[in-house]
């Protein structure tokens, strides 16, 4: 018995010693945390008490070349729940289900989730003003609004395919927004508040606000005014011709800077989810490849001039077709053009003449050397997503028939951007440029230029002398040849039309389906703008590029040239009129004449404005040209 009691006492002593050691160790630890190292203890405590509400960073602003905002940001609040602060779960679930167009059960799950902060997405992100108003007025415990941001497109669908769009988390998903996402994306911030385990705010702690930051700003080469013009004309052409597609591209031929770019069908970047993927994922001027038709003749013609294989006054006799290795290839004009100069060959877009240039003058090897030199077997390197490259014949496996068709733009395929870049080299002095659309990247707060794009010459394809000749040639085409539909009095416009058959998946070409195109340049003595228009399968019209595409380009140039500061010329190649063309007359000088002495019986109409007997001023001014059935306004005084 005594022995048993002794063991109990020993165990009790050892237990006491152990408990004492434990409390001593605990005391030492508390002393260490609260006296010797209080920072670590405080940091652990604050980590347990702190809650972070994310604040989205703003993306960089995108500007046009003159500083007009193309893409901006707007505040778009999102709703979050702090479940432990919710005092009426049913009320929260009912409210959010109605406001967010969701179900009570789904919102109930969000409101009772065992997390510190519950973000409701996607339906709770980027709310409308009305949704925000209803949630604010309800003022329910545990429900908060945080300031997210969303992209704002002040011009609607303008430049949609080029700009692209962003996702729910403001990440770039397409276009420039995706390609330059790392530059445009802003850094997120946070609102840090403190609460106990039940979610009650700890008043002795102040909230901490870590501001978000905006991403880099971006300046495009695009001119918003020119872009607006081509967007409008694309819409008008869609309404007038009901085509499958339309592509319009504008470029500065000297630098490769893209001034405008659009296609139809189009979409609204702010609501891209409402459109089919094949619409918003296809930037047609850089993605779509097709046979260019007669617009390609520009390069064939330039190659022959560069090699000294022909002169403009050399002659060629067209009988309406050519026989190439037993294959009869017809011209577009039944019966042919007869004997014509080589200048008239391109003015008339004579296919047999170009087969002669391609097969007999250049030959296969030289023709395809120039096709490669003009960049048709490679991508242009443009800073946009989704660029394709054409499909060009392998000269090692083709014969004279393919050489002949290649010379006038059939058989090979290419993108509009490849074609425009090549034509730019023909008229800018011979330099093949790298096209680009981003001009600068700037610091969002200081405006400091962090990156500036310089024009990049890929190579020189033809000489300055040949380029000068080609400008003269193309101005003749625009005034006296197939490009007359783009002629503008007082502006020296040059260009080339194209009427390309559409290939059939079963082989051969589709019946009565064409891509009608026009590539135009102005002014030809100092090119400032290069325009390409392609209309895919228009309805209810004559199927010629000169009838459909050239007039669209004319309307664009008619507004773009004065906007660019290009003055009207008093001298230009006179237009060769045919039946149906609008004729122009020079406006006489009426200022100082008596009203009684003015002959009102003219092809144009005269309107007298004001009181008096003498013309004091007139509109348009003397020397200008107007359509024969136009109006001259004469202002009268004493």
3-state secondary structure of 451: strand
Q: Is 413 a catalytic residue?
A: no
Neighbours of 144 (CB within 10 A): 17
> Which residues on neighbouring strands pair with residue 258, listed in sequence order?
251
CA dihedral defined by 379, 263, 530, 288, rounded to 10 degrees?
Answer: 30
Written as one string, the DSSP assignment of 516-534 is: EEEEEEE-TTS--EEEEEE
pLDDT of residue 183: 95
CA dihedral defined by 371, 376, 381, 382, rounded to 10 degrees?
Answer: 120
pLDDT of residue 174: 95
Per-chain mean pLDDT for the chain: 88
H, E, C per residue of 140-161 = CCCEEEECCEEEECCCCCCCHH
Best CA proximity match to 149, nearest among 125, 177, 180: 125
Q: Which residues of 90-126 are buried (b: 16+ CB within 10 A; e: fewer)?
A: eebbbbbbebbebeeeebbebbeeeeebbebeebbbb
User: Cis omega before residue 505 (within 30°)?
Assistant: no
Tokens of 362: 């250049």
Written as one string, the DSSP assignment of 214-230 is: ---EEEES--HHHHHHH
Q: What is the pLDDT of residues 175-223, one digit of tens each?
A: 999 999 999 998 877 666 556 555 555 566 556 666 778 899 999 999 9
DSSP code for 249: E
The better pLDDT of the pair 568, 362 is held by 362
3-state secondary structure of 74: strand
Tokens of 495: 């260009």
Which of the residues 288, 294, 322, 406 is marked catalytic? 294
Best CA proximity match to 359, nearest among 318, 417, 300: 300
Kindly indicate the confidence band of residue 127, based on its pLDDT and cuts at 50, 70 and 90: confident
Q: Cα dihedral sign for 571, 525, 629, 496? A: positive
CA 372/CA 196 separation, integer angstroms: 71
Which H/E stretch holds residue 635? strand 631-637
DSSP code for 413: B
Q: Compute CA distances 563 → 106, 381, 424, 556, 558, whole Å.
A: 56, 29, 21, 11, 9
Q: What is the pLDDT of residues 356-413, one digit of tens each?
A: 999 999 999 999 999 999 999 999 999 999 999 989 999 999 999 999 999 999 999 9
Kindly indicate the confidence band of residue 234, based on its pLDDT and cuts at 50, 70 and 90: very high
Q: Compute CA distances 353 → 316, 360, 472, whole Å.
A: 7, 10, 19
Best CA proximity match to 155, nearest among 78, 245, 230: 230
Q: Which residues of 46-74 are buried (b: 16+ CB within 10 A; e: fewer)?
A: eeeebbebbbbbbbbbbbbbeeeebbbbe
Best CA proximity match to 217, nearest among 519, 505, 440: 440
CA 570/CA 198 separation, integer angstroms: 84
- Which one of 81-85, 250-254, 632-636 scores highest in mean pLDDT? 250-254
CA 487/CA 343 separation, integer angstroms: 18
Best CA proximity match to 480, nearest among 339, 347, 315, 312: 347
Alpha helices per DSSP H over 488-587: 545-563
Q: What is the pLDDT of residues 135-187, one digit of tens each?
A: 888 888 888 888 788 899 999 999 999 999 998 888 999 999 999 999 999 88
Q: Cα dihedral sign for 553, 537, 352, 422? A: positive
H, E, C per residue of 112-138 = CCCCCCEECCCCCCCCCHHHHHHHHHH
* Segment 474-493 mean pLDDT: 93
Tokens of 588: 């006489």
Rg over CA atoms, the chain: 36
pLDDT of residue 193: 59
Tokens of 186: 């802003």
Best CA proximity match to 499, nearest among 531, 462, 541, 562: 541
Q: Does residue 307 surpass a pLDDT of 90?
A: yes
Best CA proximity match to 289, nearest among 173, 144, 391: 391
Q: Are 437 and 384 in contact (CB under 8 A)?
A: yes
CA 363/CA 372 separation, integer angstroms: 14
Could you tell me what percent of the chain has a pLDDT over 90?
59
The better pLDDT of the pair 10, 568 is held by 568
Tokens of 77: 């609040």
**Residues in contact with 126: Cβ distance below 8 Å, sequence separation at least 6, in sequence order:** 76, 78, 148, 150, 168
pLDDT of residue 417: 98
């Amino acid at each position: 018995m005594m022995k048993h009691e002794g063991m109990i006492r020993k165990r009790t002593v050892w237990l006491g010693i152990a408990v004492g050691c434990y409390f001593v160790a605990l005391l030492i630890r508390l002393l260490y945390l609260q006296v010797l190292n209080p920072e670590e203890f405080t940091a652990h405590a604050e980590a347990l008490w702190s809650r972070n509400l994310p604040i989205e960073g703003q993306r960089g602003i995108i500007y046009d070349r003159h500083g007009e905002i193309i893409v901006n940001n707007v505040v778009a609040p999102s709703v979050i729940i702090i479940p432990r602060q919710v005092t009426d779960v049913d009320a929260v679930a009912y409210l959010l289900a109605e406001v967010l167009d969701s179900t009570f059960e789904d919102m109930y799950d969000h409101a009772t989730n065992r997390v510190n902060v519950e973000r409701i997405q996607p339906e709770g992100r980027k709310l409308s003003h009305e949704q925000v108003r209803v949630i604010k007025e309800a003022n329910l415990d545990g429900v908060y609004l945080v300031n997210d941001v969303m992209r704002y497109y002040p011009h609607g669908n303008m430049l949609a395919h080029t700009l692209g769009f962003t996702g729910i988390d403001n990440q770039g998903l397409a276009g420039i927004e995706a390609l330059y996402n790392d530059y445009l994306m802003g850094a997120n911030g946070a609102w840090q508040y403190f609460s106990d385990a039940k979610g009650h705010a700890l008043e002795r702690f102040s909230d901490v606000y870590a501001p978000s930051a905006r991403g880099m700003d971006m300046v495009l080469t695009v001119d918003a005014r020119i872009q607006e013009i081509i967007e409008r004309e694309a819409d008008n052409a869609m309404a007038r011709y009901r085509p499958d597609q339309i592509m319009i591209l504008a470029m500065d031929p000297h630098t490769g800077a893209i001034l405008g770019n659009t296609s139809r069908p189009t979409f609204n970047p702010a609501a891209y989810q409402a459109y089919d993927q094949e619409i918003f994922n296809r930037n047609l001027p850089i993605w779509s490849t097709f046979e260019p038709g007669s617009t390609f003749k520009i390069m064939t013609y330039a190659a022959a001039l560069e090699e000294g294989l022909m002169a403009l006054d050399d002659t060629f006799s067209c009988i309406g077709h050519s026989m190439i290795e037993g294959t009869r290839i017809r011209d577009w004009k039944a019966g042919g053009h007869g004997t014509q100069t080589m200048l008239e060959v391109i003015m008339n877009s004579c296919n047999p003449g170009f087969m002669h240039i391609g097969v007999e003058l250049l030959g296969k090897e030289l023709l395809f050397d120039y096709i490669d030199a003009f960049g048709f077997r490679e991508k242009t390197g443009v800073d946009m997503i989704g660029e394709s490259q054409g499909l060009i014949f392998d000269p090692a496996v083709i014969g004279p028939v393919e050489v002949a068709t290649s010379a006038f733009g059939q058989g090979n395929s290419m993108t509009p951007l490849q074609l425009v870049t090549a034509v730019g080299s023909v008229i800018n002095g011979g330099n093949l440029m790298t096209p680009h659309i981003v001009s600068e990247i700037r610091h969002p707060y200081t405006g400091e230029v962090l990156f500036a794009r310089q024009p990049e010459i890929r190579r020189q394809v033809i000489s300055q002398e040949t380029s000068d000749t080609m400008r003269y040639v193309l101005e003749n085409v625009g005034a006296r040849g197939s490009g007359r539909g783009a002629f503008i009095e007082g502006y020296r416009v040059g260009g080339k039309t194209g009427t390309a058959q559409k290939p059939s998946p079963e082989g051969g070409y589709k019946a009565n389906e064409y891509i009608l195109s026009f590539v135009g340049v102005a002014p030809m003595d100092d090119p400032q703008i290069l325009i390409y228009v392609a209309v895919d399968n228009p309805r209810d019209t004559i199927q010629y590029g000169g009838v459909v595409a050239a007039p669209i380009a004319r309307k664009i140039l008619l507004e773009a040239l004065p906007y660019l500061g290009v003055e009207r010329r008093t001298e230009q190649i006179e237009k060769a009129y045919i039946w149906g063309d609008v004729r122009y007359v020079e406006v006489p000088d009426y200022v100082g004449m008596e009203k009684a002495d003015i002959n009102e019986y003219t092809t144009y109409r005269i309107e007298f404005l004001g009181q008096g007997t003498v013309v004091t001023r007139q509109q348009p001014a003397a020397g200008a040209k107007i359509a024969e059935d136009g109006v001259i306004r004469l202002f009268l005084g004493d």
